[in-house]
Chains A and B, each alone.
Chain A
């Protein structure tokens, strides 16, 4: 029962986040999101959302009690949401629960905390979605330059090799037919694009799943900056080793805010360029394949903020759902 209420709360928050930035702000500053939503969208798709919510929160057997609950003020979001917890206390995955992780500096000294949004870093991990997104990425990047020659493209073969009748052998019209040695290929590969479509919502869910998986596996670190003190690979190596102190292998993806950002940028890319087990990627380019390719994921604080803002932006500006 309580669990269902939680799920409904997270659902509502996701809807709120997708509907308006003010809704999120209201959620953050403690006001009742439902009220603000009702003020902003009196006649949109929200009634359906309320209905759903009621189904979750109302006691199933007692009809009268449910009626009374309806008459009262709608429950505020704070009552429904699970409070944020530190990441190491997360015992169940996929509850859309906000996670508090320590903020490290590059020498792995904690300098603060960061709250990761539960709708991005604690969604249920779906391997099938990850599989589809990875397949989509790999298919998209496939070059598609494969070609064989057909019977018309193979050199020669214009002449009839032997008379039609009288030789005691089979009828043949050209020495480049597919059954001939040195002949053309029937139904061979031709240059083409292997790209196929994947809905944007699935792609976004895939990224959320990948981030949630790294968080659940405790292989996600948040740092204040990825820019080493000196622009030297040796310094960068020390820093990454410090970050991966308890890791069994050295394999990490570093993600900063942008290629020209203050928290990494050009210096990060140059210093980490010669470390074969380190990948660097700007926040905008973060993707499922790159995340899963490496064991650890290190995000900067600024990248986390931008990422959460980006993943909460509605895919269609006027759509009632994210």
Chain B
């Protein structure tokens, strides 16, 4: 019995090609007769500024009368001093670490988080770790981030990890995330900046450049022991 193969009617030839249904966008043809549905007035209605060629009045223009957005008084304000910290949750960090996308044998800095795409490109002033997935956290994580919520800190420390909040100003954060940029420009890395007086005491320490990523002695010993255990097992 001959092995199965494509029947001849299914052979690919130039006359049997077709794109997927819906792949082609057809342009709207206006003014081409009653049957098209866009015949006489081409979908523009009868007479007036909007029926003519050229530009129609801008959005929100009410013919010269004070438009709504100017009639209503302003309300609220935008705080120019606000600092946005990119939120990231513990379950994501744990998943990344388990998949080997984040290191567990040294301190995870914000550069690691960014390089592994754990956080996106919009970082603002840094990263804040939040506590979603705190109850399921089992991996010991050693983090160095800008801010950490109370529940997240408790969960990390309960799981045998550590977390430190570090201050970077905008330039420092850029030097942390993209040190190669400074090297390419032939510049030195900036010196770490202290937080402004208003933020004093909100951070454990000032972020170093380049960051120090060795684990603290106690944690390093524990990590080595756990590795030996797994090796022995």
- Which A residues lie at the B interface, using CB under 8 A? 43, 47-48, 50-51, 54, 70-71, 88-91, 93, 125, 127-128, 130-132, 134, 210, 213, 216-219, 289, 292-293
Interface of A is mostly: helix
Query: Does B19 lie within 8 Å of A132, measured CB to CB?
Result: yes
Residues of chain B contacted by A93 (CB below 8 angstroms)? 6
Query: Does A292 lie within 8 Å of B13, measured CB to CB?
Result: yes
Given A216-B6, A218-B5, 7 more A-B residue pairs with CB atoms under 8 Å apart are A47-B99, A47-B100, A70-B98, A88-B5, A91-B3, A127-B12, A127-B17
- Which B residues lie at the A interface, using CB under 8 A? 2-6, 11-14, 16-20, 23, 98-101, 115-116, 230
Q: Which 9 A-B pairs have the closest CB atoms?
A: A131-B17, A213-B12, A47-B101, A128-B20, A128-B19, A131-B19, A88-B3, A51-B99, A292-B14
Query: Does A292 lie within 8 Å of B23, measured CB to CB?
Result: no
Query: Does A217 lie within 8 Å of B14, measured CB to CB?
Result: no
Query: Does A130 lie within 8 Å of B3, measured CB to CB?
Result: no
Residues of chain B contacted by A89 (CB below 8 angstroms)? 3
Interface of B is mostly: loop
Complex Cα distance A90/B14, Å?
Answer: 24
Query: Does A134 lie within 8 Å of B17, measured CB to CB?
Result: yes
Q: Total A-B residue pairs with C-beta atoms closer than 8 Å?
A: 56
Tell me, rounded to whole Å, the shortest Cβ–Cβ distance linking B14 to chain A.
Answer: 5
Some 11 contacts from A to B, beta carbons below 8 A apart, are A47-B101, A91-B4, A128-B19, A210-B12, A213-B11, A216-B6, A217-B5, A218-B5, A219-B11, A292-B13, A292-B14
Tell me, rounded to whole Å, the shortest Cβ–Cβ distance linking A206 to chain B.
Answer: 10
Complex Cα distance A252/B12, Å?
Answer: 14
Known A127-B16, A128-B23: A50·B5 in contact at CB below 8 Å = no
Closest to B15 in A: A292
Closest to B102 in A: A47
Residues of chain A contacted by B11 (CB below 8 angstroms)? 213, 217, 219
Tell me, rounded to whole Å, the shortest Cβ–Cβ distance linking A247 to chain B.
Answer: 11
Query: Does A125 lie within 8 Å of B18, measured CB to CB?
Result: no
Query: Does A134 lie within 8 Å of B4, measured CB to CB?
Result: no
Closest to B12 in A: A213
